[in-house]
């Protein structure tokens, strides 16, 4: 290991801007950046289990090419930035596992997923595929086939899921940015438990082309990062229409990295109460209160508000997920039931038994909930709610308490994210700093297509020192 690489291994990531300056000044080469990442993975991942494959040969070849190419940082805003992807993204010449044993038998992908190609077109370097819950039906990060992904803050605790490796790789400083997917909270839950930033964009904003599906009408893809700035840069690089994804909407590119950092105190902030302020979840409520108080002190207009259909919306999301997920896996449930994680299999089987009338009713509830939210956004620009009800549970913990009842952890870590997913709203989970304690996140939620509002508040909370990835 060269002295330059050795010096970098124990250094925290200092941000994309600083990285580009070091490359431009000659302090670092891209090959040294990649070697540093591989050394970190070698040192740390045995205790975290964030990676399911590491692409040494591909990444080093790409780094060598980029070092020799004459590229300007304005044209490649992610020049030499290493990243990883949840293993439901297609990687050329690799089998797309989606966290499952069954998919190991599939043929290798013929090309990279579209969002991988977009990041690489911006200069980034793919270094590996990341652990996840089986078929994305998980909030814990536990996986019986590839091992549990562990929380870098405390390896005895859950990283959250299903984008577990995507969050843990960033929180442990092995990678600065990753890609994940979010159906009911699978970016925001692990971002909250691991203390990093994670974005679920508006449904239809980013194309899912080249990813393994779960629940078509709820599936989103998005980035995770150690800072709001880095997240914004990555998000800008991911944007754009693709007709291969029927849900992707053709819109003008709406960049945020250069505009959202400005403080717009005319934004109207709503603090969600009712369902989102269950008094049982003390840590979650405190995090929201910290944010509300900070924004009031900073001069924002902050008021309390409510979404009456939130609980019904979550129930609708449950039903829709169960039915669509079960339909997707019907043949595998019949032919290979023993190869599923029993917890995943049983939830899919339950979904296959739900009557069609329930699914239709759930879609009607979804419409009513979307209409209620649209009306609320006439009065507010950003809504604030917890990301998770609790801090990271212990690995293997099966239950948690809600309203005096012991309920399943795997199904209920998405208590606050599922209603937002149900109606496809953009939501940015930001980590709320708390001294010497496990992290917990807060969601910044905006009206459809207004991700910039999420980022504007996220940038401000970071500048105030409240939203900070402390392990970065």
Query: According to the model, what pLDDT value does residue 436 have?
Result: 65
How far apart CA 145 and CA 339 sit, in angstroms, is 9
Q: What share of the chain is helix, strand, coil (3-state, %, to 5)?
A: 40, 15, 40
Which is the catalytic residue, given 86, 192, 200, 469? 86
User: Percent of the chain beyond pLDDT 90?
Assistant: 91
Instruction: Assess if residue 432 is contained within a domain.
Output: yes
Residue 2's pLDDT band, with cuts at 50, 70 and 90, is: low
Q: Does the pLDDT value for residue 82 go beyond 80?
A: yes
3-state secondary structure 396-443: CCCEEEECCEEEEHHHHCCCCCHHHHHCCCCEEEEEECCCCCCCEEEE
Which is the catalytic residue, given 40, 100, 162, 315? 162
Do 158 and 151 form a contact (C-beta atoms < 8 A)? yes
Query: According to the model, what pLDDT value does residue 11 have?
Result: 78
How far apart CA 292 and CA 271 sit, in angstroms, is 7
262 exposure class (CB count in 10 Å sphere: 0-12, 13-18, 19+): exposed
Which is the catalytic residue, given 100, 172, 181, 186? 186
The CATH number covering residue 253 comes to 3.90.1300.10
Q: Does the pLDDT value for residue 213 go beyond 50?
A: yes
Instruction: Assess if residue 156 is contained within a domain.
Output: yes
Q: Is the pTM of this model over 0.85?
A: yes
Query: According to the model, what pLDDT value does residue 8 have?
Result: 64
How far apart CA 144 and CA 133 sit, in angstroms, is 9
Tokens of 215: 């629940």
How far apart CA 425 and CA 203 sit, in angstroms, is 7
Instruction: Assess if residue 91 is contained within a domain.
Output: yes
Question: Over the stretch 313-358, which tens digit does the pLDDT of each residue have?
Answer: 999 999 999 999 999 999 999 999 999 999 999 999 999 999 999 9
Phi, psi dihedrals of residue 142, rounded to the nearest 5°: -85, 140
Active site includes 186?
yes
Instruction: Assess if residue 192 is contained within a domain.
Output: yes
Question: Over the stretch 3-14, which tens digit does the pLDDT of each residue have?
Answer: 556 556 667 899
Residue 75's pLDDT band, with cuts at 50, 70 and 90, is: confident
Residues 6+ apart with CB under 8 A from 433: 439, 465, 466, 467, 468, 470
- What letter would DSSP give residue 186? T
Q: Which segment of 160-174, 429-443, 451-465 scores lowest on mean pLDDT?
A: 429-443
Domain that holds residue 135: 3-463
Do 316 and 422 form a contact (C-beta atoms < 8 A)? yes
Instruction: Assess if residue 470 is contained within a domain.
Output: no
Q: Does the pLDDT value for residue 1 go beyond 90?
A: no
Active site includes 162?
yes
Query: How open is the CA angle 200-206-210, to the nearest 5 degrees?
Result: 110
Tokens of 76: 């490649």
Active site includes 86?
yes
How far apart CA 339 and CA 140 sit, in angstroms, is 19
Query: According to the model, what pLDDT value does residue 74 have?
Result: 73
Report CA Rg, the chain: 21
3-state secondary structure (DSSP) of residue 108: coil
Number of domains in the chain: 1
- What letter would DSSP give residue 145? T
How far apart CA 392 and CA 153 sit, in angstroms, is 9
Instruction: Assess if residue 469 is contained within a domain.
Output: no
- What H or E segment, with its residue span, contains residue 65? helix 56-68
Kindly report each contact of residues 251-255 with a partner whose C-beta sits within 8 Å and lies 24 or more positions away, as own/partner. Answer: 251/205, 251/449, 254/449, 254/451, 254/452
How far apart CA 66 and CA 90 sit, in angstroms, is 23
Q: Which segment of 18-27, 57-66, 201-210, 429-438 scores lowest on mean pLDDT?
A: 429-438
């Amino acid at each position: 290991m060269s002295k330059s690489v050795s010096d970098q291994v124990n250094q925290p990531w200092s941000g994309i801007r600083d990285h580009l300056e070091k490359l431009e000044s000659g302090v670092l080469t891209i090959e040294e950046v990649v070697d540093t990442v591989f050394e970190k993975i070698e040192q740390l991942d045995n205790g975290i289990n964030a990676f399911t494959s590491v692409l040494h040969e591909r990444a080093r070849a790409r780094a060598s090419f980029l070092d020799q190419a004459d590229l300007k940082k304005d044209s490649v805003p992610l020049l030499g930035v290493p990243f990883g992807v949840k293993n439901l993204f297609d990687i050329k010449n690799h089998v797309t596992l989606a966290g499952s044993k069954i998919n190991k038998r599939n043929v290798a992908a013929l090309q990279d997923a579209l969002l991988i190609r977009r990041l690489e077109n911006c200069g980034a370097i793919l270094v590996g595929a990341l652990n996840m819950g089986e078929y994305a039906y998980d909030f814990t990060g536990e996986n019986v086939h590839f091992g549990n992904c562990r929380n870098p803050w405390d390896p005895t605790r859950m990283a959250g899921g299903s984008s577990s490796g995507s969050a843990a790789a960033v929180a442990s400083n092995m990678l600065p940015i990753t890609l994940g997917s979010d159906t009911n909270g699978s970016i925001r839950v692990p971002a909250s438990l691991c203390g990093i930033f994670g974005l679920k964009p508006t449904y239809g904003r980013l194309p899912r082309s080249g990813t393994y599906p779960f629940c078509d009408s709820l599936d989103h893809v998005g980035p995770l990062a150690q800072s709001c700035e880095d997240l914004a840069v990555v998000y800008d690089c991911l944007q754009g229409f693709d007709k291969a994804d029927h849900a992707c909407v053709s819109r003008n590119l709406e960049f945020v990295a250069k505009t959202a950092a400005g403080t717009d105190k005319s934004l109207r902030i709503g603090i969600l109460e009712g369902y989102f302020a269950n008094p049982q979840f003390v840590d979650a409520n405190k995090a929201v209160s910290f944010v509300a108080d900070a924004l009031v002190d900073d001069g924002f207009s902050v008021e309390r508000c409510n979404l009456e259909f939130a609980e019904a919306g979550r129930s609708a999301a449950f039903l829709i997920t169960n039915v669509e997920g079960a339909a997707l896996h019907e043949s595998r449930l019949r032919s290979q039931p023993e190869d599923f994680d029993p917890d995943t299999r049983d939830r899919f089987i339950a979904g296959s038994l739900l009557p069609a009338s329930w699914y239709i009713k759930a879609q009607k509830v979804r419409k009513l909930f979307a209409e209620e939210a649209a009306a609320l956004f006439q009065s507010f620009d950003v809504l604030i709610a917890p990301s998770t009800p609790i801090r990271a549970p212990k690995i293997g913990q099966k239950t948690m308490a809600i309203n005096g009842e012991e309920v399943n952890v795997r199904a209920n870590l998405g208590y606050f994210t599922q209603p937002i997913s149900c109606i496809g709203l953009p939501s940015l989970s930001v980590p709320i700093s708390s001294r010497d304690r496990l992290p917990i996140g807060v969601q910044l939620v905006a009206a459809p297509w207004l991700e910039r509002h999420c980022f504007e508040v996220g940038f401000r909370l970071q500048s105030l020192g409240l939203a900070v990835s402390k392990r970065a």
